[in-house]
Structure 1
Amino acid sequence: MQLKTRITGAMTALALSLAVPAAAQEATAQVDLAQIAPAALRQDLLKGVYGAVEIPGRNQLWVASSPSFEQGTPGFVDILDATDLRPLRRIELPRRAFALALDAARGRAYVGNTLDGSLTVLDAASGLVLDTIQLGKPDGEGFEHTRMVRVDPGSGQVFVTSPSDTGTLWIVDPDRQGAVQRIDDAGLWSAGLALDAARGRVYATGGGISEVLVVDAATGAGIGSFSTGDTKEAGGEASAHFFVNAALDTEGKRLFAADANQGALYVFDTETGAVIATAPTGLGTLDVIYSDKRDQIFVTYRGVSREAPSGSGGIVVLDASDYARIADIPLPAHPNSLVLAESGDALFVTVKAPMEKEHPLYREGGGDSVLRFDLDKLATLLPRQ
């Protein structure tokens, strides 16, 4: 393995030459929503939705929400029926809720309290709050932020990223009363997180010169880093990329990284760290998930930027064998998080309503959405390439 090898400019140029041509990608028209309606269900009862997680043994989808950013306001976990999205129960939390992860073996759910820099630990059966684990240090009037949360299904270790200018990765050990290991200098804006439990590897993704940090899951030791080679100087202003979220194809040894800066998907070889493909995905690219059952990649894009604040986003579906675009599904206004059902037969998406009153789709008091796609039905309705 050559995990410690950084990608040279020549290797990057070669890798980018393997990417699907942008013109071919952009030629794929957006799907008419009426065309795929038989494969979709939508629930609009919630406000401030963010992450979600499936509880497969209970046929439930848990959705984290924070209706207000004001300090001291509560967060919520709304429990929906995973088949028809009926609301089943609401759990109020003492801190604002953004990310979600499940430890099925131990019956625990972890809620990332992003703005409070902590984790809320819930009993996955009763919904009772078991603990609050403070991770972030005080930072001004608040705390260092947490972001993505992942759980090793075997060890129960919990991994949490912090997208700061230096980057932090926390590892929480539930078998030692929630003991926390802190790894600093995890990389500029270390926001994204992917876990290969079988190989004992954690991938923290962000920006900077080396955009991906590889960590030994058992010890927390750094193993190496991946770099596109596109950023030559340190600091956020010089960063060509921001890999805000990541997903893995463990069998194919590929890391899929959603690049918010470039509006593209980057594919890394996890053996060598080389960029093996890129594919344009859309303005404000955000989340990515891989279906090994279908060999497809799903990517959300918000459709907006600071320079273009009035757009609307969707989901891009890519063929993971050649990175060709299968479809672009518009989902007004801002698709956010993706969850793939354990069966591989359903895809859940949280979609945020615009918060800015100037946005053409803004509605006073409007709610956010949760969508469920039946992927078998969707496959029959999408255009054939």
Structure 2
Amino acid sequence: MKTKFSAVALFLTVALSGCATQQTSQTTPPATQKAVATDTTQRDLAAGLYEMALGPKGDVLYVASAEGFKDVQGGVIYKLDATTLKTVGSSHTDLKNFGMALSPDGQIVYVTNSLDGALSAVNTADGKVKSRILFSERNKEGFPYGAREVLLHNGLLYIGAVADPAQIWVVDAETLKLKMRIKNTGKWMTGLHYSQTTDRIYAANGSGEILVINPKTNRVEKRWKPLGDKPALLLNMAEDSATGRLFVTDNSKAKTTLVLNIRTGEVIKQLAVGDSLAVKFNAKRNEIYITQRESGKLLSLDGTTYALKKSWDLKPNPNSLLLSDDGQILYVTVKQAFNKDHSTNGPDSIVRIDLKK
């Protein structure tokens, strides 16, 4: 079997985010843990790991997996013990999984099936796909628009389309019915972020823009281009609500992290940290975390001075980040490099970092 997919969709999902009963997988690699440092536990898990979500009690970690891209059909949603990283369940899906969001009650995990232009809702109790929406759009090569990031807000799912021109699908979270499309959103819709501070949704794109969207009307109210005419492929975002700062990464063109005024879009600072992929702000510890895919590092910066506090070597390619609600545990997916045939030389891994140590 030869998997076919859009090269653009694969690139941007990598830079991120049939039904089976949930059960302990017999094909999952053993829970071999690597004591990388005194504060760090790392476990090799599976190919194609992307975004994560923590259960409401913080005891369960869900991980979206596309599995392999060469001669492998479908993906898996892994359910891990959030402390030991041992597998406690897995749901094998007919489509590959990338982006992830969890319902507030923890009963439904939403995953983007990027290469198929779809989104699936999976019951966490039994691992079965409850419902799915397949988006109808196709690009000029006939491939589906890549469904990258998914944001759950106020009973609606916002899903960014990797396409040119891009758009955002707005879907009812209960029924998975398409409510509307937010169009005129530039090229390659990437990161999505909702701010309680401003009651606005922020959307990043490959045109170097941040779009400010009113979720009450789902209209684009503002368009910021923080780097002006300089090429930029803005990816992921995080917020410090206390100071009104929005952090935005660029791993492809500008290779930086921008610090913006979340109300005006003014550039407060451009962090000279090199290639930047995922970003999280930890209000409990006043720290900024950034994964550097190319250099294989995870950085911790002081949230006020931006000075480097700590660096973790997580080669080859640290990818997605997830922070516990109490701000004391940080999870990272670490990816293997791709070969020319889209295969890898080993499984991706999950890293758990105890920030108190």
TM-score for the superposition, normalised by structure 1:
0.78
Matches within 5 A, 1:309-320: 312-320=295-303
SS, match of residue 83 in structure 2: coil
Q: How far 1:112 sits from its partner (Å)?
A: 0.7
Change (3 A) 1:335 1:364: closer
TM-score for the superposition, normalised by structure 2:
0.84
8 Å Cα contact 1:188-1:211 kept in structure 2: no
8 Å Cα contact 1:258-1:265 kept in structure 2: yes
8 Å Cα contact 1:39-1:374 kept in structure 2: yes
8 Å Cα contact 1:56-1:342 kept in structure 2: no
Q: Which runs of 5+ in 2 are unaligned?
A: 1-33
Q: How far 1:122 sits from its partner (Å)?
A: 1.0
Matched residues in 1 for 2:286 and 2:136: separation? 37
Q: Give the counterpart of 1:330 among 289, 313, 326.
A: 313
8 Å Cα contact 1:202-1:215 kept in structure 2: yes
- 1:266-299 per-residue CA deviation (whole Å, 9 max, x = no partner) reads 011011110101112233x211111111111101
Matched residues in 1 for 2:177 and 2:196: separation? 19
Match of 1:18 in 2: none
- 1:289-342 per-residue CA deviation (whole Å, 9 max, x = no partner) reads 111111111011111xxxxxxxx4111111111222222322110001000112
Q: How far 1:73 sits from its partner (Å)?
A: 1.5
Change (3 A) 1:124 1:156: farther
The amino acid that maps onto 1:144 is: Y
Match of 1:127 in 2: 127
Q: Hey, which of these two has a bigger chunk of strand by percent?
A: 2
SS, match of residue 45 in structure 1: strand
Match of 2:225 in 1: 227
Match of 1:271 in 2: 263
Matched residues in 2 for 1:45 and 1:177: separation? 30
8 Å Cα contact 2:256-2:274 kept in structure 1: yes
Matched residues in 2 for 1:106 and 1:372: separation? 21
Matched residues in 1 for 2:126 and 2:155: separation? 19
SS, match of residue 146 in structure 1: strand
Q: How far 1:98 sits from its partner (Å)?
A: 0.7
Matched residues in 1 for 2:340 and 2:71: separation? 22
Matched residues in 2 for 1:109 and 1:201: separation? 23
Matched residues in 1 for 2:344 and 2:197: separation? 47
Matched residues in 2 for 1:72 and 1:84: separation? 28
Matched residues in 2 for 1:48 and 1:78: separation? 12
Size of the aligned set, in residue pairs, is 322
Matched residues in 1 for 2:185 and 2:89: separation? 37
Matched residues in 2 for 1:129 and 1:229: separation? 41
Matches within 5 A, 1:46-85: 46-57=46-57, 59-69=59-69, 73-85=73-85
The amino acid that maps onto 1:342 is: D
- Higher RCO (Cα < 8 Å, 6 or more apart): 1
Matched residues in 1 for 2:247 and 2:331: separation? 19
Seq. identity, %: 31
1:44 matched to 2:36? The reply is no
Change (3 A) 1:177 1:90: closer
The amino acid that maps onto 2:62 is: W
8 Å Cα contact 1:151-1:158 kept in structure 2: yes
SS, match of residue 95 in structure 2: coil
Q: How far 1:93 sits from its partner (Å)?
A: 1.0
Change (3 A) 1:69 1:137: farther
8 Å Cα contact 1:48-1:65 kept in structure 2: yes
- 1:13-68 per-residue CA deviation (whole Å, 9 max, x = no partner) reads xxxxxxxxxxxxxxxxxxxxx99711011110211111111113261111111123
Q: Give the counterpart of 2:280 among 280, 289, 302.
A: 289
The amino acid that maps onto 2:243 is: G
Match of 1:15 in 2: none
8 Å Cα contact 2:198-2:263 kept in structure 1: no
Change (3 A) 1:36 1:323: farther
Q: Hey, which of these two has a bigger chunk of helix by percent?
A: 1
Change (3 A) 1:53 1:177: closer
- 1:211-270 per-residue CA deviation (whole Å, 9 max, x = no partner) reads 100101122111112122521xxxxxxx52111111122232111100112221101101
Match of 2:235 in 1: 244
